[in-house]
Amino acid sequence: MKSQLEQLIQQAFDQLINRGDLDADFKANIQIIASKDAAQGDFATNVAMLNAKQAGMPPRQLAELLVPHMQDEQAVHKIEIAGPGFINFFLQADVNQSLVRKILEQGERFGLSDHGANKRIQIEFVSANPTGPLHVGHGRGAAYGATLANLLKAVGYDVQCEYYVNDAGRQMDILGTSVWLRYLDLAGEEIAFPSNAYQGDYIWDIAATLHREQGDAFRQPAVEVFKGVHADHPEGDKEKHIDDLIENAKALLGSEKYREVFDLALNTLVDVIRKDLAQFGVEFDEWFSERQLTEQGLVEKAIQTLQDKNRVYESHGALWFKSTDFGDEKDRVVKRDNGQTTYFASDIAYHMNKFDRGFEQVINVWGADHHGYIARVKAALKAMDYAPEKLEILLVQFANLYENGEKVAMSTRSGEFVTLRTLREDVGSDAARFFYVMRKADQHMDFDLNLAREQSTDNPVYYVQYAHARVCSVEKQCAEQNKEIDFNQAQMNKLENSHETDLLKQLSLYPDRLLSAAQRREPHIVINYLRELAHMFHAWYNAHKFIVDDEGLRNARIALAFAVRQVIKNGLLLIGVSAPQEM
C-alpha cells in the first residue's frame, strides 16, 4: 500500500512540473507513515512540508496544489489536508478486508518479499572461543544473529550463517594444558592446578575421557611438568606460570601427543557448543576454523598483500600494519618479534577470505566489548582495496541476569557463569529467545530470570503465544458446536467495529515492519509488532463473540481470527519461538 501511495504522490508532483507550477528539475522527497490516530486517516505524508522550501511556497499551498492530482487511486477513499500541511489518506474499507483472504491463501509465505534480490550475504555470529560452554552473554548474540538471519532470508537475501572457531592461539593452549593437568591428577600425579587455567568441571570431564581411553600413555611425572616453572599467583606471575607449563607440556608430550590432547579438548567443546546452539534453535551453515587460515597460508598471504601494497613496516623486531593511514588511532602489530602472527593478522586474512568467497555483504555480530576492533578491521579492508562499507559490524551488549531483584555475578575464567544450557533448561527456549530479542541489541538489558520463568500474565512470551492458542481453541469450539467453517460464506464487509478495523490495519502493516526490521537490523521491531497485534486480538476477543448465529459475520470473524493466528505464527517462527496450539 505504501508504495502505491508513493507512486500516487510522485505522479502528482510530475503533473505539477508539467503544468509549470514547479521547476523542471524539481526532485520530490517523499515520505509516508502509517497514521497513529484514526482521525488522521490510514496513512499520512509530510511531503508538503519537506518540499516547501524547494517549491518556493508555504507547505499548505503546496498541499492544496498536490491533492487534486491524487484522485485516481481506487483504494483511496478520501484525502485531507491537516495541521501545518500533512496530507492524510483514508483508505476504502474493503482494501484491508481482501487482505484477510490474501493472508489465508499465502499462509507462511505472507509477509515475505524479494527485496534482497537474492543478494549473497553472510552473517557471522556467536564465534565464542571454544574454551568452555556458551554462557548467557553468548546467548544474546546467538538469538539476535539467528533472528536477523531469518529476517534477511524472509526479505529475499541469500543468507549464510557462519561461526568463526578460534582454534588457535594462547587461550587454546591454556585449555589443552588445563585438560592435561587434570588428566595427570586423575592418573595419580600431585598437581597444583594453576590459578589462570580453566577451572570448570567440564575440564575434568574431558580429562576423564582422555584417561579412560588412553590410560597412562600421556602421563609424565609432576616434577618434570613443573620443572623450571615460574611461581603462580599470589607469590609470582600467573601469566608466566601458565606459559611455562604450556612450554613444558609441548616439550614433554611432543608435538603429536600435544596436538592430540589439544584436539580432544577443542573437538569436545565445539561439539558441546554446537549441540547447545542446536537445542536453542540456532544452526550454522559453516564452522570456519582459524587454524585452517594459518595452515593454508592465508595469514602469510594477507601479510604479503599488505607488504606488496607498502602498508607495513618493521619496528623493534615486529611487523606493523600502518592502520593509522586508514582511520585507526594507532598502528597494529601483525607479526610479533618471536615470529608468530597475531590474532589481528588472522582476522585480516579471515575477512579477505570472506569477500573472496563471493559475499556481496558481510555482517559481523560482535559483543560490545569488541567495539575497539572495528576501526582496525575496516582499516585493513581499506588497505587491501576492499570496500569497507560491505562489512557491517553490529554490536550486541551484554545481558545482566537478575534473580530475585539481585544481579547474578559472573566471571568466565573462574568458572562462575550461568551457561546458556542452564538458562534454557530454566526458563525454556521460547522465553529465552523472546527475551533476548525483545530489546534493541546495542542496548544493555536486564534479563529478569523470575519473569522469564513465570508462566503467567506477566510474561510477554505467553501473552503472544496465548493469542495463537486462543484462535486454535476457537477452531475447536466450532467443531464441537457443529458450526462449519466456510470462508465462502464470509461477509467481510460486516467487520466494521473499531476492534476489527484496527486489526485489519495492523495485519496490513506486517510486511512493511518485517522489511524495516531486516533493513535496520532490529529484530525487536517484530516482537513489538507481535505484542501490539496480540493485544488488539485479546481486546477484540473480549469485546465480541466470534461464534455467532449470523453465518456471514461468523465466518468473517473466524477468517480474521485465522489471519491473526497466521501472522502471529509467522512472526514467532522468525524469532525462533514456537506457536503452540494449546498451552
Partner RNA sequence: GCGCUCGUAGCUCAGUUGGAUAGAGUGUUGGCCUCCGAAGCCAAAGGUCGUGGGUUCGACUCCCGCCGAGCGCGCCA
Residues 157-176 contacting RNA, CB under 7 A: 166, 168-172
Q: Which residue has the cell 589481528?
A: 344
Q: In this structure, are residues 575 and 148 in contact, taking their beta carbons and an 8 Å threshold?
A: no
Q: Which residue has the cell 509549470?
A: 20
The site that binds RNA (CB under 7 A) totals a number of residues, namely 94
Residues 307 to 336 in contact with RNA, rule: CB under 7 A: 315-318, 329-330, 332-333, 336
Q: Residue 443 interacts with RNA (CB under 7 A)?
A: yes
| SS3 of 347-378 | HHHHHHHHHHCCCCEEEEEEEHHHHHHHHHHH
Q: How far is the CB of 160 from RNA (least distance, A)?
A: 23
Among 18, 304, 340, 450, interactor with RNA by CB under 7 A:
340
Among the residue ranges 79-87, 107-115, 303-311, 411-419, the one whose residues contact RNA (CB under 7 A): 79-87
Tally of residues, the chain: 583
Q: How far is the CB of 219 from RNA (least distance, A)?
A: 28
Among the residue ranges 13-21, 84-92, 218-226, 228-236, the one whose residues contact RNA (CB under 7 A): 84-92
Residues 234 to 293 in contact with RNA, rule: CB under 7 A: 290
Q: Residue 508 interacts with RNA (CB under 7 A)?
A: no
Q: Based on CB atoms, which residue is closest to RNA, 324 or 397?
A: 397
Q: Based on CB atoms, which residue is closest to RNA, 232 or 290?
A: 290
Q: SS3 breakdown of the chain: % helix, strand, coil, rounded to 5? A: 55, 15, 30
Residues 468 to 507 in contact with RNA, rule: CB under 7 A: 469-470, 472-474, 476-477
Q: Based on CB atoms, which residue is closest to RNA, 46 or 160?
A: 46
CB neighbourhood size of 236 (10 A): 12
Q: Based on CB atoms, which residue is closest to RNA, 184 or 437?
A: 437
Residues 524 to 543 in contact with RNA, rule: CB under 7 A: 524-525, 528, 531, 535, 538-539, 541-543
Q: How far is the CB of 185 from RNA (least distance, A)?
A: 25
Among 8, 12, 28, 86, interactor with RNA by CB under 7 A:
86
| SS3 of 298-328 | HHHHHHHHHHHCCCEEEECCEEEECHHHHCC
Q: How far is the CB of 95 from RNA (least distance, A)?
A: 18
> What string marks each residue from 119 to 138 as x (binds RNA by CB under 7 A) or -?
----------x---------
CA 271 to chain centre: 22
Residues 90 to 119 in contact with RNA, rule: CB under 7 A: none
Q: In this structure, are residues 4 and 75 in contact, taking their beta carbons and an 8 Å threshold?
A: yes
The angle formed by the CA atoms of residues 147, 149 and 150, to the nearest 5 degrees, is: 65
Q: Residue 385 interacts with RNA (CB under 7 A)?
A: no
Among the residue ranges 15-23, 47-55, 63-71, 228-236, the one whose residues contact RNA (CB under 7 A): 47-55
Edge-first strand listing for the sheet containing 120-124 = 286-289, 158-165, 120-124, 361-367, 391-396
d(CA 399, CA 137): 6
| CA dihedral sign, ordered 570, 574, 577, 578 | positive
Q: Based on CB atoms, which residue is closest to RNA, 320 or 355?
A: 320
Q: Based on CB atoms, which residue is closest to RNA, 169 or 552?
A: 169
Q: Cell numbers of 556, please?
A: 468473517
> Pairing between strand 361-367 and 120-124?
parallel
> Pairing between strand 406-407 and 399-403?
antiparallel
Among the residue ranges 66-74, 103-111, 133-141, 457-465, the one whose residues contact RNA (CB under 7 A): 457-465
d(CA 138, CA 125): 9
Q: Residue 212 interacts with RNA (CB under 7 A)?
A: no
- Per the DSSP assignment, residues forming a β-bridge with 82 are 86
Q: Residue 455 interacts with RNA (CB under 7 A)?
A: yes
Residues 347 to 366 in contact with RNA, rule: CB under 7 A: none
Among 457, 482, 488, 549, interactor with RNA by CB under 7 A:
457
Q: Residue 444 interacts with RNA (CB under 7 A)?
A: yes
Q: Residue 544 interacts with RNA (CB under 7 A)?
A: yes
- Per the DSSP assignment, residues forming a β-bridge with 312 are 321
Q: Residue 75 interacts with RNA (CB under 7 A)?
A: no
**Whose CA is closest to 94, among 559, 564, 538, 493?**
493
Q: Residue 225 interacts with RNA (CB under 7 A)?
A: no
Indicate the DSSP class of residue 398: P
